[in-house]
Amino acid sequence: MFNETEHTVFLPHDRLAGLLAAIRAGGWQCVGPRVEQGAIVMAPLAESEGLPRGLQADQAPGQYRLGADAKQRYFAWANGPQALKPLVFAPQETLWRVARGTDGALTFEAAVPDAPKRAVIGVRACDLAALALQDAHFLRKGWDDVHYAARRAQLFLVAVQCAVPAATCFCASTGDGPTPGMGYDLALAELDAGFVVVAGSAAGRAVLQQLDLAAATPAQIGAAREQGDAAAAAQTRRLPGRDLRDTLMARLKHPQWDAVAARCLACGSCTAVCPTCFCHAEHEAPALDGASSHHAREWDSCFGETHGHLHGFNVRPDIRTRYRQWLTHKLAGWHDQFGRSGCVGCGRCIAWCPAGIDFTAEVAALTGAPDVKEA
Amino acid sequence: MSANASVRPRVAVHKFSSCDGCQLAFLNLGEDLLTLASRVDLVHFAEAGPLDADAEVDVAFVEGSVSTPEDLERIQRIRARSRVLVAIGACAVSGGIQGLRNGADSASWVARIYDHPEAIASLEHSTPIATHVAVDFELWGCPVTGTQVLGVVNALLLGVSPRDNADKVCTECKRQGYPCVLVARGIPCMGPVTRAGCGALCPGLGRDCYGCFGPAESANTDALSAQFARLGLDTQAIARRFQSINSQAPMFRQAADKARAAGNE
């Protein structure tokens, strides 16, 4: 948050490299935005590597294009296909190994999670909200996932306020953005000359102290706050409410499920880019010598046929039931499991749907409430 | 075939009408091929050396499509002498690239291409192995990968059903972290209707999937054709997307027919 009650400093643009150096000095490897295959991806940053500047992410249903930001800012791109999820919930990993000894006895060994100290530069408010939901799932008391926990504990998060939302963004309506409110080590708001910076943790404060920065002026803090308000007001898509549980569960036989099933590819792209989806499948991967095996986990999707397999039958045999499962779990079932909706309004499922299905438009068609703000 | 069997299972690798690329999946296994050779008895594998085409075997891997009168007779013989028959690769499971001749006037091609067309004995259609004999398991791909082949061998050695993966290429693409080429660059990727198994090889190199692993489960070809049209492909171009390596896989053939019919309206 950017207000006068917290200690807020100003980081001129030409000292951004100094911030990254201070983070590295703390032992973190920096992961940040890089352009790959026409999109912003979060990737390890080499020490000599600067952050991309002057890029915007123009997004529409089924479409993502990088464009130019006239103000040459570092963070005018709203988001890319992934942010934090692959860094904590690995797309593929080994959970444990088993070996057969010469006497035939089996020996089990837990796989050690690969968990480097990582600082992620350019995390958005929606990403932080999604991380809190992933935490609620993977770090549930008594059932915590050691692999997730090990990687999560090593994260240093540098959040950025979204000043240029994409056309697919609707975090203002889910209450999760565009200004980061919690869960960061450092939060930045980018202005024309640099960044208003606030620390959200002891680790964040320790990094800032190394930089000896001047306090942000009330005008700079005010500009950051107004910029956040303007970004929220600029969003055109929305969900009609934060708790649609009963509304949706009363519409399980709505004809819209058939309409969307005709357009849906059941490719699972929405679930893969969704920062809160956590479903996975596990399988045994035996070595060819017949003496050992590893137990593998990988991202799975409720859009796949095997995901609905129960003993003797399939609970979701067609695309209609799979799409319905996804949407109603996200916006209804999540309330029962986690006390809130599973949607943080990042809009990735809209942009990265190869068929261009608009999640907010589907919800509007199902609930009868408009998906765009009235003029 | 338990892992402790004192007698090693006998394995044959047969070739029908094909390019031999799927047999290379075995040869390219490297060290794993040596391990494999120590666990099974490779009695027939022309690419690798052993020749005993008529041997009785526990597992026969069959590459290629049935494309000649001789193939028709030979596949029956192999089936009768094999306990488990695994069809490997696009040719064996869908008729392959040579299936493009199905429905065309291939006799006129033969006459134009060869000096002695009378020396060519080809069936009118190139067909998958399962059209002619019972197939126990199919591996899709052009070519299949070593991982797929080893997965099947391993499962059979352990006495369990091989693990099938009929999910879409998109699932593998997303796990690899590749930005979607259809969304980010507007190119007509077949990934959303194509079976996984390649590890999203083409999208990982920045190009579109061309469907060489054949149709995935619940492949919504209508929805993808509609998206291809929005990307600017005309009906002929859409038909061609589905008429490639696996042109005779029913789902792809129907999608191509539908696109052409729409173009003729």
A321-368 per-position pLDDT tens digit: 999 999 999 999 999 999 999 999 999 999 999 999 999 999 999 999
Average pLDDT over every residue of A96-100: 96
Share of residues in chain B with pLDDT > 90 (%): 81
CB spacing of A41 vs B218 below 8 angstroms: no
φ/ψ of A359, rounded to 5, equals -50, -45
Rounded Cα distance, A4 and A355, in Å: 46
Q: Say if A279 is an interface residue toward chain B (CB within 8 Å).
A: no
Predicted local confidence at residue A369, as pLDDT: 75
Q: Are B121 and B71 in contact (CB under 8 A)?
A: no
B233 to chain A: which residues are within 8 Å by CB?
none
- Report the pLDDT averaged over residues B41-57: 92
Could you list the beta-strand ranges (E) of chain A: 8-12, 29-36, 39-44, 55-60, 63-68, 92-100, 106-110, 118-123, 155-160, 186-190, 194-199, 280-286, 292-299, 309-310, 313-314
**Higher per-residue confidence, B227 vs A290:** B227
A127/A157 Cα distance (integer angstroms): 10
Checking if the pLDDT of B112 tops 60, the result is yes
Mean pLDDT of chain A: 95
Q: Are A215 and A161 in contact (CB under 8 A)?
A: no
- Mean local confidence (pLDDT), B225-250: 97
Given the DSSP bridges, would you call strands A29-36 and A118-123 parallel, antiparallel or unpaired?
A: parallel
A184 has a chain B CB within 8 A of its CB: no
Condensed to tens digits (0 to 9), the pLDDT of residues B84-106 reads 999 999 999 999 999 999 988 88
Measured between CB atoms, does A41 come within 8 Å of chain B? yes
- C-alpha torsion sign, points B86, B146, B3, A293: negative
| Nearest CA among B146, B263, B180, B173 for reference residue A299 | B173
Joined together, the tokens standing for residue B214 give 């054949």
Within 13 Å, how many C-alpha atoms sit on residue A132's CB side? 18
Q: What percent of chain A has pLDDT over 90?
A: 92
Helices (H), chain B: 21-27, 31-39, 69-80, 90-94, 106-113, 146-158, 169-176, 181-185, 201-204, 221-230, 235-242, 250-264
- The tokens for A85 are 């999820």
Domains of chain B and any CATH numbers: 10-158 (3.40.50.700), 169-264 (no CATH)
Which strand (E) or helix (H) includes residue B88?
strand B82-88
CA distance A16 to A74: 10
Out of A12-21, A42-51, A210-219, A265-274, pick the least confident.
Answer: A42-51
User: How distant, in Å, are the alpha carbons of A30, A34, A108 from that of A43?
Assistant: 8, 6, 34
For residue B131, give both structure tokens: 């059209």
A38·B185 Cβ contact <8 A: yes
The pTM of this model reads: 0.95
Distance CA A298, CA A314 (A): 21
Side-chain half-sphere CA neighbours of B145 within 13 A: 11
pLDDT band of residue B1 (cuts 50, 70, 90) is very low
**Which segments within A180-276 are labelled E, that is strand?**
186-190, 194-199
Q: CA-to-CA distance for A367 and A240, rounded, in angstroms?
A: 8
Long-range contacts of A17-23 (CB under 8 A, 24+ apart): A17/A50, A18/A211, A19/A158, A19/A207, A19/A211, A20/A45, A20/A121, A22/A207, A22/A210, A22/A211, A23/A119, A23/A121, A23/A156, A23/A158, A23/A207
In whole angstroms, what is the distance from residue B235 CA to residue B253 CA? 14
Residues in CB range of A183: below 8 A, 6 or more apart: A128, A129, A131, A132, A157, A159, A200
- Kindly identify which residue of chain B lies nearest to residue A322, measuring between CA atoms: B218
Tell me whether residues B176 and A91 touch, CB distance under 8 A. yes
Instruction: Spell out which residues of chain A touch residue B232, defining contact as CB-CB under 8 Å.
Output: none
* Residue type, position B82, single letter: S
E strand or H helix at A128: helix A125-138
Is B116's pLDDT higher than 70? yes
Predicted local confidence at residue B164, as pLDDT: 85
The residue-averaged pLDDT of A176-184 equals 95
Any CB–CB contact under 8 A between B174 and chain A? Answer: yes
Residue B205's closest CA among B221, B228, B187, B232? B187
pLDDT at A274: 98
Chain A hits for B195, Cβ within 8 Å: none
- Backbone torsions φ then ψ of A92, nearest 5 degrees: -150, 130
Contacts with A, B 202-221, CB within 8 Å: 206, 217-218, 220
pLDDT above 70 covers a percentage of chain B that reads 98
pLDDT band at residue A196 under the 50/70/90 scheme: very high
What local confidence, expressed as pLDDT, does residue B102 receive?
93
Four-residue CA torsion sign, B227, B233, B238, B244: negative
Distance of CA B182 to the CA centre of its chain: 24
Both structure tokens of A191 = 């202005």
Q: What is the DSSP string of B234-260?
A: -HHHHHHHHSSTTTTSHHHHHHHHHHH
| Count of other CB atoms within 10 angstroms of residue A6 | 13
Residues 6+ apart with CB under 8 A from B178: A37, B200, B203, B204
Q: What is the mean pLDDT of residues B112-125?
A: 92
Q: CA of B178, closest CA in chain A: separation in Å? A: 8
By the 10 Å C-beta count (0-12 exposed, 13-18 middle, 19+ buried), B119 is classed as exposed
Instruction: Please state which of the ranges A48-52, A98-102, A159-163, B242-246 shows the lowest mean pLDDT.
Output: A48-52
Residue B2 has pLDDT above 50, yes or no: no
Name B87's bridge partners: B62, B138
What is the rounded CA–CA span in Å between residue A300 and residue A272? 8
> CA-CA distance, B195 to A301, in Å (whole number)?
15
Sorted by sequence, the CB contacts under 8 Å of residue B234 that are 6+ apart come out as: B263
Asked whether the predicted pLDDT for residue B4 surpasses 70, the reply is no
Spatial distance between the Cα atoms of A372 and A147, rounded to a whole number of angstroms: 40
Q: What is the mean pLDDT of chain B?
A: 94
User: Cβ separation of B192 and A269 shorter than 8 Å?
Assistant: yes
- Mean pLDDT check: name the lowest of B55-59, B101-105, B236-240: B101-105
| Distance separating alpha carbons of residues B187 and B177, to the nearest angstrom | 18
For chain A, the C-alpha Rg in angstroms (whole number) is: 22
Is A149 an interface residue toward B (CB < 8 Å)?
no
Res. B204: pLDDT tops 90: yes
Residue-level pLDDT at A288:
87
Cβ–Cβ contact A102 with B under 8 A: no
Stated as kind and residue range, the H or E segment containing B139 is strand B137-139
